[in-house]
Amino acid sequence: MSEGIKRKPNWLKIRLPGQGEYKDVDKILKDLNLRSVCRSAHCPNIADCWGRRTATIMILGDVCTRGCRFCAVTTGNPKGYIDRTEPERVAEAVQRMGLKYVVLTSVDRDDLADGGAAHFARTIRLIKERDANVLVEPLIPDFAPPSPVGAQHVAPSLLRKIIDAHPDVVAHNLETVERLTPHVRDRRAGYRLSLDVLRVLKEIAPDGVTKSGIMVGLGERDNEVYTAMKDMREVGVDILTIGQYLQPTRKHMEVDRFVTPERFKEYEKRALDMGFLSAPCAPLMRSSYHAAEVAAFLRKRKNVSSI
């Protein structure tokens, strides 16, 4: 357990939530009883994103069955409960906010037979039924069924449920380098498991866009960051994000180092040289931050009407 939180350098200063668009988004989410990972995970970009009328909506409740050491979301056992009306409320919120790009994420739900894959798919479909032009990016868990022998494996049928709902980008985060994974992530997660998820997504939909990201400042070395980038590229990941880990509370992992903006520029250059279509890397970068701008870039790059 940490005894304190390290003082942030100047480049990590953020503005506090204010009025206007931020208040509108906050009200819509509260009116529809929806959760935003922006708030649940103590995201530093909440004022910026909500001020631009964008939000990452967290479905499947706010209690996670896993306990990663970097995450501020509550850990527990939801005991199989699902709010069946949630997908409709999410679709309504997207419509009310006038969003053109939506990021959906969730807690891990190892208490569910399908990990929540069907709930994800239904939410994507209902959003697109209301407006076919809305781009949807699910940021999914691994959906790996619990295994009595310890090692967990990808369930292609569950990943296919997501693909069959026709998302525009599918994201799954690697979170950290391989050496640190057992220390940073829950024991049921895995570096190779996450790579397999990304690989299978690409095998199911070769023309689909996949996305992944890691945090730095957890004790990794730069050569390990480059190895993780190479591993993601080898399984076909199109979009990479790298951001600074920030300790959410004193109970969570301490920050090992604050990576400079100059180093993040080096990460981005190296990633683009590896062949990633887009690689936003910055201290305050998060997997869903400025996701719509990345989508616009890909449209231009691929010269197609939709991703």
Residue-by-residue DSSP string for 237-251: --EEEEEE----STT
* Cα-Cα-Cα-Cα dihedral sign, residues 90, 141, 46, 271: negative
193, 185, 268, 194: which is closest to 225 by C-alpha?
A: 268
Give me the pLDDT at residue 46, please: 55
Give me the pLDDT at residue 2, please: 47
In a domain? residue 115: yes
In a domain? residue 83: yes
Full-model pTM: 0.86
Q: Domain total for the chain? A: 1
Give me the pLDDT at residue 292, please: 60
109, 114, 119, 110: which is closest to 87 by C-alpha?
A: 119
CA distances from 108 to 39, 68, 76, 291 (A): 17, 10, 10, 22
User: What residues does 213 pair with on adjacent strands?
Assistant: 241
In a domain? residue 160: yes
In a domain? residue 54: yes
Give the gyration radius of the chain's Cα atoms. Answer: 18
pLDDT tens-digit readout, 225-270: 999 999 999 999 999 999 999 888 888 899 999 999 999 999 999 9
Give me the pLDDT at residue 56, please: 82
Query: Residue 167 belongs to a domain with what CATH number?
Result: 3.20.20.70
Which portions of the chain are predicted below pLDDT 50?
1-2, 40-41, 304-307
In a domain? residue 5: no
- Please report the DSSP string for 66-92 in residue order: S--TT--SEE---TT---TTHHHHHHH
In a domain? residue 32: yes
Write the DSSP symbol of residue 136. Answer: E
In a domain? residue 64: yes
Give me the pLDDT at residue 122, please: 98
208, 267, 209, 213: which is closest to 238 by C-alpha?
A: 209
What percent of the chain lies above the pLDDT cut of 70?
A: 77
Give me the pLDDT at residue 41, please: 46
Task: Report the 10 Å Cβ neighbour count for 247.
Answer: 19
DSSP strands (E only) in 1-72: 35-36, 56-59, 63-64
Give me the pLDDT at residue 156, please: 96
In a domain? residue 3: no
139, 179, 168: which is closest to 59 by C-alpha?
A: 139
In which domain, by residue range, is 260 found?
A: 10-302
